[in-house]
Structure 1
């Protein structure tokens, strides 16, 4: 279930994240995790039912990887993807901000 009501979504240091911002996030690659940069395309919250807790809001970001990332092998695809904004850090504000 998706909520179009944005609210305030922040990185782990408390910096607000908006569409157009450049972020660094953790991405899985085989059996490891690497750091990758991406442009934020959309910011939303999703309501999720958690057994024993109730309904909670999870901040999610639609991102487009830039290709700049740690590791020694290149990314196979540059597709847009949705990620949870849990292990995300703002690198640079987007244009016009």
Structure 2
């Protein structure tokens, strides 16, 4: 079974988010993923279609520090940020 372009981009975005959060420490990763599940009944890959969920959770949990987290995610995705859906995701993060 071949992965579609959309599935690949979704996995790429989820990986960038996971890498950034784990880089901040496992407690950060677990807190964000638990809040995603509790508040929106979704997981990191779902943030590809709903970046506003991630943005709100990061802002609520980490205040202005969420901008540093978002910038790290954007940096990881920079190479792909001109591709339609990834660009939309990056722009929605702010």
User: Normalized against structure 1, the TM-score is what?
Assistant: 0.24
Greater strand proportion: 1
Q: Which has the larger Rg? A: 1
Normalised by the size of structure 2, how large is the TM-score? 0.25
Instruction: Report which structure shows greater RCO (CA 8 Å, sep ≥6).
Output: 1
